[in-house]
């Protein structure tokens, strides 16, 4: 009986340690600051990230969200987080790793997406390659659903699960998302 209790205690301790190495981030795309800028060769959708929560702590400052589609077939999201809320504070060098992008309530998934993380001034900036699926992701956010970016960088850094939730739909945000999706689709062809 003592050995069973010891094994149970050890497995719970290991599970607790493993969970402590995960960083959960949840944020909403801000509707009030949403902007779409389009040129002949690219589209940029930008907004603030609002109500950012990291693990069980609400962040004091918001971050930035950008989705970019280019005629050169580059499609990515850029997320910035203030240094006070850095998910990998010990990482001072650029970090390249793989990430999975999953749209909740959909079969839209990107496995092994390129993720570049770097410190720029007082921000942690992450770029995630969307593998030609930017228009689909924007349409997904337009339905009010969330998207998760997950990364397991290793090197002693915590695993990351970053959920970007859509803002509350309004006529203005729905129009901007539809415009962005249509332009990204056009540039992708």
What pLDDT score does 1 carry?
A: 40
Query: Is 155 a member of any domain?
Result: yes
Given a contact cutoff of 8 angstroms between Cβ atoms, the answer to whether 100 and 128 are in contact is no
CA distance 92 to 107: 35
Given a contact cutoff of 8 angstroms between Cβ atoms, the answer to whether 38 and 45 are in contact is no
Query: Is 136 a member of any domain?
Result: yes
Percent of the chain with pLDDT over 90: 65
CA angle at 29 for the pair 102 and 130, rounded to the nearest 5°: 35
Q: Tell me the average pLDDT across 21-44.
A: 91
Which domain, by its residues, includes 79? 23-188
Query: Is 67 a member of any domain?
Result: yes
What pLDDT score does 71 carry?
A: 66
Query: Is 16 a member of any domain?
Result: no
Coil, helix or strand for 149?
Answer: strand
Q: Is the pLDDT of residue 28 over 60?
A: yes
Integer-rounded Cα radius of gyration of the chain: 18
Q: Alpha-carbon torsion 49, 50, 51, 57, what sign?
A: positive
Instruction: Name 28's bridge partners.
Output: 50, 165
Q: Is the pLDDT of residue 80 over 70?
A: yes
What pLDDT score does 168 carry?
A: 77
Query: Is 142 a member of any domain?
Result: yes
Task: Count how many domains the chain has.
Answer: 1
Q: Across the chain, what does the average pLDDT equal?
A: 86
Query: Is 109 a member of any domain?
Result: yes
What pLDDT score does 13 carry?
A: 32
Query: Is 10 a member of any domain?
Result: no
What pLDDT digit, counting tens, does each position of 102-159 carry?
999 899 999 999 999 999 999 999 999 999 999 999 999 988 899 999 999 998 999 9
Query: Is 34 a member of any domain?
Result: yes
């Amino acid at each position: 009986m003592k050995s069973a209790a010891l094994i149970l205690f050890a497995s719970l301790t290991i599970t607790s340690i493993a969970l402590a190495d995960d960083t959960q981030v949840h944020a909403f795309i801000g509707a009030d600051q949403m902007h779409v800028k389009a040129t002949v060769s690219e589209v940029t959708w930008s907004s603030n990230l609002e109500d950012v929560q990291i693990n069980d702590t609400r962040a004091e400052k918001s971050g930035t969200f950008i989705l970019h589609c280019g005629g050169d077939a580059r499609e990515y999201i850029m997320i910035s987080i203030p240094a006070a809320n850095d998910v990998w504070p010990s990482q001072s060098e650029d970090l390249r790793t793989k990430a999975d992008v999953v749209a909740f309530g959909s079969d839209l998934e990107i496995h092994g997406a390129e993720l570049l993380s770097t410190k720029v001034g007082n921000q942690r900036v992450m770029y995630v390659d969307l593998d030609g699926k930017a228009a689909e992701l924007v349409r997904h956010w337009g339905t009010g659903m969330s998207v998760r970016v997950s990364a397991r960088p290793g090197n002693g850094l915590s695993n990351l699960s970053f959920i970007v939730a859509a803002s509350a739909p309004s006529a203005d945000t729905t129009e901007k998302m539809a415009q962005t999706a249509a332009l990204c689709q056009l540039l992708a062809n």
